[in-house]
Structure 1
Amino acid sequence: MSEKVTQEQINSVLWQAADTFRGKIDSSIYKDYILTMLFVKYISDTYKEHLEEYKEKYKGDERRIQRALSRERFVLEEEATFDYLYSKRNDPQIGEIINKALEKIENENTGKLRGVFRNIDFNSESVLGKTKERNSMLRQLLEDFNKLDLRPSAVGEEDVIGDSYQYMIEQFASDAGKKGGEFFTPSMVSELLARLVKPEENDRIYDPTCGSGSLLIRVARQVPSRKVAIYGQERNGQTHSLAIMNMYLHGIDDADIEWGDTISNPLHLDDDGKLMKFQRIVANPPFSLDKWAMGFAGDGEKKFKMEPGLDPHRRFDWGVPPSSKGDYAFVQHMLHSLAEGGKMAVILPHGVLFRGASEGKIRKQILEMNLLDAVIGLPEKLFYGTGIPACIMVFQKNRKRDDVLFIDASSEGNYEKGKNQNRLREQDIQKIVETYEKYETVDKYSYVASMEEIKENEYNLNIPRYVDTFEEEEPVDMDEVKKNIKSIKKELEEVEAQMEKYLEELGL
């Protein structure tokens, strides 16, 4: 039995492949090429291994071999395999050859992979440069990937490849800074959300701004049997493709990931055209999205103003968020998509807790309907490309209680400090989740606030109003201070006398 390929080996080859592009094009662009190639190599190696097995099993009976292959997860013809692309690595038309192979993969697997590669062009002069540079980059990329053995027998654990994909996405997110934060939630923050919503078997799990899908996968992993239904929607075409590949690499074959703007065009609808309902919802929507309602504007309207009636799903009847801050647009969409007894957790900027005007009105309505379960303040600098400290709001339908738990997990000791980025440790996550489950007041950490208190605060949910993290200073001992001053004066006199002596000796 040959040695198994380890996670580290795969990760290091992928990182090497990234070196081929580094310095030539922006990592937020070349990540798509590397992640696509990883996907192609994986389905190719799997297909190749199964083909060998069937040849042996059916002793070369072509008809039975083909029938068996047609039942595979992914069907590939020879010219769509990685080995074929590798054999053509020196061909002057290599970019075009890769594009054709991707098209073939899509066409052969149209039910699963329709349109997945439409946003990626391996022959693009504007992105990859003129023919000579482009060809040398692509040749290098194929040579890097040729070092990887991703056959199921070599990899063993199914999640190894999915986790490498995840690793690369996370590396690119930290690399891409500001842009990176848009398509990836750091893994420990995803883990925290997943444990807060605690999904159960047969739940429908939904993320309306799903990015590369990592958060959904974390939530699915909370259910040991993985028997859950996954739904997501993503506005960015490239990121939508990454999410679909990410699902397959994690063995989730029936995820329903749609492409489009969730606010103006939600695509998960039931048979009556109404918003589909989900037992668990998680999201890390873009913070304070400007012009969030533009999808409703229609053509040629100079001064567009969003009105509740423009939305066929009536999600903004509780109030229309300000045009420059879409946070509550996402929250209202999610609340309208939440099933009875369902639970959701959303990452948001702190402003949603206390900003006034229309946001204040929406917040009041949500509180009066008793939908808010908890507010959790997170440490600063957890997210890629933004130092803004965020919070998590947990909502639940049909709550049995009418108070709200506040947790302030932002102070020192509740996270690990990093040079550019802080991170949550396992113990920090456990502390938050345990406090949430016990739903209790803990000195300087959490507070259970009654609706009366919240009303008295005019529905302002700013965490310091409820959780007092102020540390008392030690009282000052004045006698001690006097003593200190006296001894400092004495030392000073001695030093001055010494200086005089030196100056005298030097005849100055």
Structure 2
Amino acid sequence: MTATPNQQDSINAAVWNACDTFRGTVDPSIYKDYVLTMLFLKYISDVWQDHYDRYKAEHGDHPELIEELLKNERFVLPRSANFNTLHEARHQPGNGERIDKALHAIEEANLSKLRDVFQDISFNSTKLGDEAQKNDILRHLLEDFAKPELNLRESRVGTLDVIGNAYEFLIKNFASTSGKKAGEFYTPPEVSQLMARLMDPQEGDEICDPSCGSGSLLMKCGQLIRARAGSRKYALYGQEAIGSTWALAKMNMFLHAEDNHRIEWGDTLRNPKLLDGKGLLKHFDIVVANPPFSLEKWGHETAADDPYKRFRRGVPPRTKADYAFILHMVETMKPGTGRMAVVVPHGVLFRGAAEGKIRQKLIEENLLDVVIGLPEKLFYGTGIPAAILVLRKKKIDENVLFIDASRDYQDGKNQNVLRAQDLDRIEQTVRARQSVDKYAYVASPAEIAENDFNLNIPRYVDTFEEAEAIDLKAVREERLKLKAELAVLEEKMTGYLKELGYE
């Protein structure tokens, strides 16, 4: 069974409407965690109940047998932690405490997949007001998620993607209404898809995002492998500094059945946690990231003594971590198959001093493969245009391909969107690796050196449109014609004024 678009739209609308319970009382940066966590709880409860009913239909009303069969599911849901149990008790005092206990019971029953995921979220927190207000808010929230539109059983909605889409819809709306802070954990799906396609993930690949946010980039790579090979033979790795966002990534992986993953909580630049058995940085086939732009206070003071030697090409500026993330990613690419794609602000392409020296070394080592300029207003929290850098450990030549894709997009009300044809054009141009008039240019190392290793795209891709030649003779004739018409009108107006007694 496959869900219809109408079902998806109604689910999205119902989940977004559930946010009304908090609006005006709790800040969106706080209540997003409650709504997303409740969506998670409702989904696993509905899936669990669906499977229970199916076993009951197949084997009769034998609770003990059904409980044994349910132990083979990919997750366990204790009876006390079921959404329906919480909903039935919603009019009693203690909603916050009951929901917290349910989440902890779910974590305990699924420790290998959900360890510590709910430690930063408490429905019993004073953030939701005093006891009476909190209990009332949570009663409304339980009632919102009990509506028929949010029946998330597989027998109703079909594919798991419906839930993933609802999750993505919520994150997108939180990002668009909460500004930069929310945008830190959300990469527009079209950009994630583009980066996944450029990386061309294959079966068996190990894929990493060192600033993974909610995990959307990683999952786009996994989805591409499944679509092409019908296989889940790959592994996803990530690290996220913000605790609540790390928990969101873990829940997101769980909802998408991405069980072969390792998502760590911590600061990648100060304390990378994705290490191998020898305590060294683990290497990956693919490394992708949309790190926070020009992050300040990133650990500059200890970078020169980095035990992993990530900054041997130079220490990035104290107030801009862009090259710190890039250098970390470079060091984690596998020697043979390693490739990476990273979203950066345009300043990364041309800023001088320490960044200029690092950029020169990456080019001289023949690691930089493609520079893609994206349209403005694609990312939440910033209207500035960004670029994607593609680097590879093994390139087919020494050249760098520059693409100016900044003019190809759908103009949205608040955010611009990359269309399917825009993604196709970029990917095809990268594969062809040839210059395209006013769109792409293949630059040699000598040309880049002549430009002092400045990667500003207009230096390589000439998008100048010559103005159409003006026919001065035609313009003069048109002017004389208009002048004659004006003289006739003036004469008529003078006659009308005389008739009315005006001189």
Whether TM exceeds 0.5 here: the answer is yes
Secondary structure of 2:334 counterpart = strand
Residues 432-470 of structure 1, C-alpha deviations (whole Å, 9 max, x = no match): 000000000000000000111011111111100000000
Do the aligned partners of 1:306 and 1:320 also contact (CA within 8 Å) in 2? Answer: no
**Partners in 1 of 2:15 and 2:275 — Cα distance?**
38
Task: Give the AA of the match of 2:342.
Answer: V
Determine which of 434, 453, 462 is the counterpart of 2:447. Answer: 453
Secondary structure of 2:285 counterpart = strand
Residue 2 of structure 1 and its aligned partner are, at CA, apart by 13
Task: Give the AA of the match of 1:257.
Answer: I
Q: Quote the sequence identity (%).
A: 54
1:274 aligns with 2:280: yes
Do the aligned partners of 1:21 and 1:30 also contact (CA within 8 Å) in 2? Answer: yes
Do the aligned partners of 1:373 and 1:404 also contact (CA within 8 Å) in 2? Answer: yes
The equivalent residue for 2:396 is 400
**Partners in 1 of 2:85 and 2:302 — Cα distance?**
53
**Partners in 2 of 1:400 and 1:269 — Cα distance?**
29
Pick which of 77-86 and 102-111 moved more. 102-111
Residues 306-349 of structure 1, C-alpha deviations (whole Å, 9 max, x = no match): 4422x110100100000111000000000000012211111100
**Partners in 2 of 1:483 and 1:133 — Cα distance?**
78
The equivalent residue for 1:299 is none
The equivalences for 1:124-203 within 5 A come to 124-125=125-126, 127-147=127-147, 148-203=150-205
**Partners in 2 of 1:3 and 1:121 — Cα distance?**
33
Aligned length: 494
**Partners in 1 of 2:262 and 2:92 — Cα distance?**
38
The equivalent residue for 2:457 is 463
The equivalent residue for 1:227 is 233
**Partners in 2 of 1:212 and 1:502 — Cα distance?**
75
The equivalent residue for 1:334 is 329
Do the aligned partners of 1:308 and 1:315 also contact (CA within 8 Å) in 2? Answer: no
Residues 61-118 of structure 1, C-alpha deviations (whole Å, 9 max, x = no match): 5554443333322222221110110011111211111111111111222221111111
The equivalent residue for 1:92 is 93
The equivalent residue for 1:323 is 318
The equivalent residue for 2:52 is 51
Structure 2 segments unaligned to the other structure (5+ residues): none
Do the aligned partners of 2:2 and 2:157 also contact (CA within 8 Å) in 1? Answer: no
Residues 1-53 of structure 1, C-alpha deviations (whole Å, 9 max, x = no match): 99989322322221221222233323232221111111111111222233344
**Partners in 2 of 1:14 and 1:380 — Cα distance?**
29
Distance 1:2 1:364, change over 3 A: closer
**Partners in 2 of 1:19 and 1:393 — Cα distance?**
40
Do the aligned partners of 2:120 and 2:243 also contact (CA within 8 Å) in 1? Answer: yes
Cα RMSD (Å): 1.9
Determine which of 240, 248, 257 is the counterpart of 2:254. Answer: 248
The equivalences for 1:235-384 within 5 A come to 235-293=241-299, 305-309=301-305, 311-340=306-335, 341-384=337-380
Task: Give the AA of the match of 1:146.
Answer: A
**Partners in 1 of 2:404 and 2:447 — Cα distance?**
18
Do the aligned partners of 1:230 and 1:254 also contact (CA within 8 Å) in 2? Answer: yes
Task: Give the AA of the match of 2:471.
Answer: D
The equivalent residue for 2:483 is 489
Residue 120 of structure 1 and its aligned partner are, at CA, apart by 1.2
Do the aligned partners of 1:159 and 1:249 also contact (CA within 8 Å) in 2? Answer: no
Task: Give the AA of the match of 2:322.
Answer: D
Distance 1:276 1:3, change over 3 A: closer
**Partners in 2 of 1:220 and 1:451 — Cα distance?**
34
Residue 55 of structure 1 and its aligned partner are, at CA, apart by 4.7
Secondary structure of 1:257 counterpart = strand
The normalised TM-score by structure 1 is 0.93
**Partners in 2 of 1:500 and 1:92 — Cα distance?**
88
**Partners in 2 of 1:91 and 1:254 — Cα distance?**
40
Task: Give the AA of the match of 2:133.
Answer: E
Secondary structure of 1:338 counterpart = coil
**Partners in 1 of 2:70 and 2:412 — Cα distance?**
49
**Partners in 2 of 1:314 and 1:26 — Cα distance?**
41
Residue 138 of structure 1 and its aligned partner are, at CA, apart by 1.2
The equivalent residue for 1:108 is 109
**Partners in 1 of 2:205 and 2:428 — Cα distance?**
23
The equivalent residue for 2:420 is 426
Residues 324-383 of structure 1, C-alpha deviations (whole Å, 9 max, x = no match): 110000000000000122111111001111100000000000001100000000011111
Do the aligned partners of 1:279 and 1:342 also contact (CA within 8 Å) in 2? Answer: yes
Distance 1:55 1:485, change over 3 A: closer
The normalised TM-score by structure 2 is 0.94
